[in-house]
Structure 1
């Protein structure tokens, strides 16, 4: 576009020279924007993501043929160190650290053994499958994981998720073998999805479950899990497959009118009180952290002894009975990749993968921040995926990081993931030697152990904090909570993701278009509504698009808002010709990318402004934006001399071109 025709005012020669120098510098900086190199394409981004996942530490390959072998070896070493972090920190591992890890691992095992049995029953599997899941996945994670504190194994939420979704496909009672095979297949798919997420840097998919949604989902799941334990706590034989509150409470009230055995309730509540009391003592006295950790194991031992000595199982107390002893059996032959349920297994695997990753990364990062180190989410996904794939081949179901056990591991003074190795070996020994002793373990005790772990999943203060800070976030929290509570786990997840998506879409399609002014005494331009002291420039309208992406979803909205601001400014300047809009400066510093719809919207804005004899200037367009504007010939249409490095330079240039406002 042609420059504005203005009258040149007489001024001293030195001042004229200074202005010429400033114009030259401004033009040079504008050329930096216009002549920036071509940004990387999609293929380059994908290759770079894979390369950074495979070679996280980077690898420098020399072009010299004499160094080719050495470079290849360095690349292999870098790959192995990235894939197996134990190769890096293992070289500096000392005996003092092992002593702490040994104590932490044994403490962790005392909690993991009873919890694993309980979570297996929650997943509608035989008790030994919970123990299997506490052996292989922790060992794999110890080799590939980067979190020092996380405790790997079965968890309540994932166990509930699997049981509630898979039992809709296969009945766990009528066809236990088919149910188990489907669980293992789901575990394989979950691990595969997790591995792919990590390899291709798709960690953002997990972020669709926002923090608020996770708080609500965990709280609702905790209540549902607690209600499920009424079956074991009351000794109820017939329990609904539905997990919603109404169905469960109806079943409980119906069963109370029939024969039930109060001894189960007395035994379970007694040890639940004992476990909660030890936890209270442990919180009051940090030196007794080990007491609440071993309380579940003590409860199992004492209750088993009581049932055995009193023969309470003959008087209605339900017991675990047979637990298969021995190492994890190979289960590769049980995976089903053909048949009518493969699609459903993949779908459940995807949901399980996301929920498991969300919990693991959340707990891992929280404890990593306490210890002062960074946790790479993508590397964690690769480790989690590989351990669940290996787990599906060795009779394990979906494993992830446990909040309660990780807290115990941290309090016990763990130094590295060696505590997971110690825990896995301890569980392995119990599988070989102690399963017969668990025959008389009451189901009510397992229910009480699960119930004791649930308060940590219900975070009422955080829910109140979310309500106080962001009402839209609280809506996602409440949607997930009530969806799980009165619908199902799947409905809760769908509600959480839907509301989170709605929030993202709402913010994307209706971005703010701010009017900017200059703060007194500075060269900073800010929103005039947030900073009322900001000074408007006569004859120039400065607007900023507050959106990372100018695309089909928001292009029309942005165009209308820009033109509305132009109209409003013209209405204000009707009485004063100097206030009439002569130039619009579009600050695009926050727009990271643009699509063809966004480009069309900019062209429409330009055409409308030209029809009103108003000039359009673009300030600080980002890399992808200026590249696409050049490809679309928009830069040529606007004029290269109307593209600027910053808003301040755009204002100075427009002001210098409008010496006589009345003549413009």
Structure 2
């Protein structure tokens, strides 16, 4: 084991390759009892919550990676139940917290493990090793341990996913890179927490600043699509068609209000294809699955603001049953006009065109 003298210390007392050293024999003692550690309860609860979150994130992350590699569907509930039972049993023996291990899972997968029986065999092998075979590993190099883990974990580096995220969504790519770098330089716990926190910030950002699209009619159809994505889509004379791709609630109301105001000003300054100013605003509410009280107040105020902006009318299209029920409870359907709330977008546009034509006639008569 020491033929080349690599384990012998040099003049500074350091050896080239460090052995594992003595590994204590035996299994952990049974430590469960009727008492509870009531000292420093606040800190213990805080640590428990942190450990639980880290364990869940780490376990689900490696489980998803294994499921993607081996082409099977992950049962998250079953995974968490297994972790809970394992931690309850392990706590009775003062064991380290049970979680999905990146390194051991990768090694298991690399040797061809396919069922939980592999973990059972691994557990029995570790138990036998702890009871009788620990002296064998006394002179084993620590480098060997590192090499086994490195070879196993290398399979988890999904470089194609890096390029895939860059092509598909730059924000997802950013979360991936930040999480990877923080895990690499600050540790798994901080890295997972950073990734989760950044993901939550992106969710908040996307809901607070929803995508709002101006719509136009595809030639020869009654289908309305974004004019930015479909250049051939035709804006309707005197009608501004908008679609809000998020629920209407307190966090994004001001952004929607500002967009509507700016869109009307742009159409007024540039003019649409017919040269008519905006006389009717149509909101396509198909993506709006829910609306809160602030959203109802927003629609109420929007009706007044549009009327103040030269008598512009508001028409709603594709409201869901939940949104429609909220409008009725607030009696806002009466203020908007029940004829101005349509199930189909095509009907909403027909209604808007009728209102715009009537306003144009009134303006023509008044001008004459």
TM-score by length of 1: 0.48
Closer/same/farther in 2, CA of residues 337 and 417 from structure 1, 3 Å limit: same
| 1:323 and 1:439 in contact (8 A); partners too | no
Residue deviations 1:115-164 (CA, integer Å, cap 9, x gap): xxxxxxxxxxxxxxxxxxxxxxxxxxxxxxxxxxxxxxxxxxxxxxxxxx
Alpha-carbon offset, residue 556 of structure 1: 0.7
Alpha-carbon offset, residue 648 of structure 1: 1.3
When the two chains are superposed, the root-mean-square deviation of aligned CA atoms in Å is 3.5
Question: Residue 339 of structure 2 aligns with which residue?
Answer: 641
Pairing 1:587–2:278 present:
no
Question: Residue 554 of structure 1 aligns with which residue?
Answer: 252
More helix by share: 1
Pairing 1:512–2:211 present:
yes
For structure 1, the residue ranges without an aligned partner over 5 or more in a row are: 1-232, 237-255, 265-317
Alpha-carbon offset, residue 615 of structure 1: 1.6
Aligned counterparts, 1:444-523, within 5 A: 444-456=143-155, 458-487=157-186, 491-523=190-222
Aligned counterparts, 1:130-529, within 5 A: 258-264=12-18, 318-326=19-27, 328-333=28-33, 337-340=37-40, 342-368=41-67, 373-403=72-102, 405-406=104-105, 409-410=108-109, 414=113, 416-456=115-155, 458-487=157-186, 491-529=190-228
What is the distance in 2 between the residues matched to 1:631 and 1:467? 45
What is the distance in 2 between the residues matched to 1:531 and 1:234? 71
What is the distance in 2 between the residues matched to 1:388 and 1:445? 29
| 2:17 and 2:141 in contact (8 A); partners too | no
| 1:540 and 1:583 in contact (8 A); partners too | yes
Residue deviations 1:414-434 (CA, integer Å, cap 9, x gap): 553233323323333333332
Question: Residue 625 of structure 1 aligns with which residue?
Answer: 323
Closer/same/farther in 2, CA of residues 637 and 258 from structure 1, 3 Å limit: farther
Aligned equivalent of 2:240, options 536, 541, 545: 541
Larger relative contact order (C-alpha < 8 A, sep ≥ 6)?
1
| 1:323 and 1:438 in contact (8 A); partners too | no
| 2:218 and 2:233 in contact (8 A); partners too | yes
Matched positions, count: 356
What is the distance in 1 between the residues matched to 2:338 and 2:81? 47
Alpha-carbon offset, residue 534 of structure 1: 0.4
| 2:243 and 2:284 in contact (8 A); partners too | yes
For structure 2, the residue ranges without an aligned partner over 5 or more in a row are: 1-5, 363-368
Alpha-carbon offset, residue 447 of structure 1: 4.1
Closer/same/farther in 2, CA of residues 336 and 661 from structure 1, 3 Å limit: same
Aligned equivalent of 1:600, options 277, 292, 297: 297
Closer/same/farther in 2, CA of residues 335 and 459 from structure 1, 3 Å limit: farther
